[in-house]
Chains A and B, each alone.
Chain A
């Protein structure tokens, strides 16, 4: 089965979702990320969704849950690059992702994670 690659950089994990994921793949990413957080003792997770032109309630929930799981494992998650049309649709759908930190791009996301991990 395909997997979304997770890059390790210092104490951060970087995930760049480059294509539309089916549901099983999204769940596999959630599992892989939680494992990698512990294995790499990561303090931060950055998920780039700029290539996603659709985030429905399932993918939204996976993102939300992943951030919650990461928090329990002492890592902060920042979701970066959400397309404006995706943000509009998610709110109308009823999924405001209030528990997830966001930034407009990878650079700003990195800065946010750097700040919260005190580096």
Chain B
């Protein structure tokens, strides 16, 4: 018999495009559904969905669109949700500066990256000018 449950040891990533405002709304809904399915607390659901929303908007607004890959992870008996935001946009010249609250290049509040980092448990960013930006986050179930 073939199990349709995801194999948690070897995460299978699903991909969603991030090309429009509507894609961002769709991602928020999808992330919420994934977190409800693995019984995250309401506060942790909200934090993770909000972080995903910030990063999806960055991919769209600064990266010129891209995609997000996501998967449920299992480690040390705990479950988590991993999201990877990928764009092939102009990249970030100074990553530490971009992570500083209040720093913005497009008239926003500059809370997106730094704020998203505070809301999740793991946050990695790789960016190369001219090549694009990849941000990986994980929120673990408490």
A and B co-occur in one complex: yes
Q: Which residues of A approach B to under 8 Å, CB–CB?
A: 20-25, 53-58, 61, 83-86, 88-89, 92-95
25 example contacts (A-B, Cβ-Cβ < 8 A) are as follows: A20-B25, A23-B24, A23-B57, A53-B32, A53-B46, A54-B32, A54-B53, A55-B50, A56-B50, A56-B54, A57-B109, A57-B111, A58-B108, A83-B46, A84-B43, A85-B43, A88-B43, A89-B46, A89-B119, A92-B47, A93-B50, A93-B115, A93-B118, A94-B101, A94-B109
A95 touching B119 in the complex, CB below 8 Å, given contacts A89-B46, A89-B47: no
Whether A85 lies near B21 (C-beta < 8 A) is: no
Chain A residues within an 8 Å CB radius of B22: 22
* A85 B42 Cβ-Cβ under 8 A: yes
Chain B residues 100-118 with CB under 8 Å of chain A are 101, 108-109, 111-112, 114-115, 118
Q: Is the interface of B mostly helix, strand, loop or mixed?
A: helix
B134 touches A (CB below 8 Å)? no
1/0 contact string of B45-64 vs chain A (CB within 8 Å): 11101100110010000000
Q: Told that A93-B111, A94-B111 touch, could you supply 11 new A-B pairs with CB distance under 8 A?
A: A20-B29, A22-B25, A53-B49, A56-B57, A57-B109, A57-B112, A57-B115, A85-B46, A85-B47, A92-B119, A94-B114
Q: How far is the CA of A57 from the CA of B61 in the complex (A)?
A: 14
In the complex the two chains form, is B45's CB within 8 Å of A85's CB?
yes
**Inter-chain contact B25/A58, CB cutoff 8 Å:** no
- Of B43, B54, B57, B112, the most chain A CB neighbours within 10 A belong to B43
* Majority DSSP secondary structure for residues of A touching B: helix
The contact size tier of chain B is 20 to 34
Closest chain-B Cβ to A101's Cβ sits at a distance in Å of 20
When distances are taken between beta carbons in the complex, the residues of chain B under 8 Å from A58 are 53, 57, 108
* Central interface residue in B45, B53, B112, B114, by most chain A CB within 10 Å: B53
- A54, chain B: closest CB distance, angstroms: 5
Cβ–Cβ contact A92 & B25, under 8 A: no
A83 to B112, CA, bound (A): 21
Q: Are A57 and B118 in contact (CB under 8 A)?
A: no
Assess the B118–A92 pair: CB atoms within 8 A.
yes
Using A85-B43, A86-B46, A89-B46 as known contacts, say yes or no to A94 and B115 having CB atoms under 8 A apart.
yes
